[in-house]
Amino acid sequence: MIYEDPLVPSTMQELQDMMAAHAGKFLLAAGGTDLFVKRRGGIGRGVILIDLSGIGDLRGISVRASDNCLEIGAMETMTSVSENPLVIRHARCLAEAASKVGSWQIRNRATIGGNTANASPAADTPSALASLGAEVILVSRGSERRIPAEDISKATGSSEIAPNEIISAFRIPLRENSVSAFGKIGLRSEVSIARLNLAVSAQVSDVMASQITNPRVFAGTLGIPARRCAIAEDVLVQNGFGACGEFCRALAELVDEAIPGRSTQAFKRSAIQALGEDVSSALLSRLKGAVM
């Protein structure tokens, strides 16, 4: 063998010791679906693969009553996230985003941590996490910090994650009477890197949605993984989910602002309005179940 042996930590402590001992010389492997595509010709001589799959603490989906949040381990796969009843109940748009990633084979491997860490502007789950107000838990030796999901990647391909840090989990606040929905337009329906996606979450006062509070509207694939649309949020607060036309126009403005002059601007301008309609009608149909 010409390459280094991989390392297989089974605890967070072992992982952090290995990352410290081999600083600058390792690559972390979650599902491998981005890593092994980018490094198709081999991961490089002298580079050590550290496999995260044996660390139980990076898995699990549970409600943390003490923090009033849903916690999802970074190594949970798109399949497990999309099928988990707690995610479907408390973070519907995230379950939908995960269910729309790649093919069945890819969803069985692709992890939610890898999707955010990879910082691709075309990723599907970052906009859903941002719309849910999720925090990303970043762990390094002896310390932990939390940053809002929308702040983790502010430029294409770069992220706020330091080389000695890993994403251990995502925490999604549990908000009363909340609804959320996700939509995606890709070049092919099943196997596609998103060309555009939209995630919306909000709290509602009653089934008529006469009052909407804390709306969070994020689009993916507009240059960065999750771009907020404040004007669309204002429209929801003022007019509810019914004012679909105005909501969609606000989304189109976001496209103009985000990617002026790009060859995809015209396509995305109309695509985002179609997504806006789909997501609005999904939200309206979910109101009944949302109000406790």
Partner 1 sequence: MDVHFTLNGENMSAAADSSTRLIDMLREGCGIKSVREGCGVGECGACTVLMNGDPICSCVTPAVQARGCDVTTVEGLETDGELDAIQESFVTNDAIQCGFCTPGMILTAKALLARNPSPSREEIRRSIAGNICRCTGYIPIINAIEAAAARTREENTAPL
Binding site for partner 1 (CB under 8 A): 1-6, 8, 27, 29, 31-33, 35-37, 39-40, 42-44, 47-49, 51, 53-54, 79, 102-106, 108-109, 189-191
Using CB under 6 A as the binding rule, whether residue 31 contacts ligand FAD is answered as yes
Using CB under 6 A as the binding rule, whether residue 124 contacts ligand FAD is answered as yes
- Alpha carbons 154 and 169: distance in angstroms, whole number: 20
User: How many binding residues for ligand FAD (CB under 6 A)?
Assistant: 31
Using CB under 6 A as the binding rule, whether residue 232 contacts ligand FAD is answered as no
* Of residues 190-209, those binding ligand FAD (CB under 6 A): 191-194
- Alpha carbons 118 and 64: distance in angstroms, whole number: 27
Distance, first Cα to last Cα, the chain: 60
Segment lying near ligand FAD (by CB under 6 A), choices 14-22, 117-125, 128-136, 265-273? 117-125
204 is written with which tokens? 């509602």
Residue 30 near residue 77 (C-beta atoms within 8 A): no
* Residue of 110, 95, 120 lying closest to 181 (CA atoms): 95
Segment lying near ligand FAD (by CB under 6 A), choices 16-24, 159-167, 234-242, 250-258? 159-167
Task: Tell me whether residue 140 or residue 265 sits nearer to ligand FAD (CB atom).
Answer: 140
Q: Minimum distance between the CB of residue 271 and ligand FAD, rounded to whole angstroms?
A: 16
Burial 268-288 (b: 16+ CB within 10 A, else e): bbebbbebbebbbebbbebbe
How big is the CA angle at 27 (ends 121 and 109), to the nearest 5 degrees?
Answer: 60
Using CB under 6 A as the binding rule, whether residue 39 contacts ligand FAD is answered as no
173 is written with which tokens? 């606040």
Measured from each CB, the residue nearest to ligand FAD is 114
DSSP state of 77: B
Q: Which residues bind ligand FAD (CB under 6 A)?
A: 27-35, 37, 74, 101-102, 106, 109-111, 113-115, 117-118, 123-124, 161, 166-167, 191-194
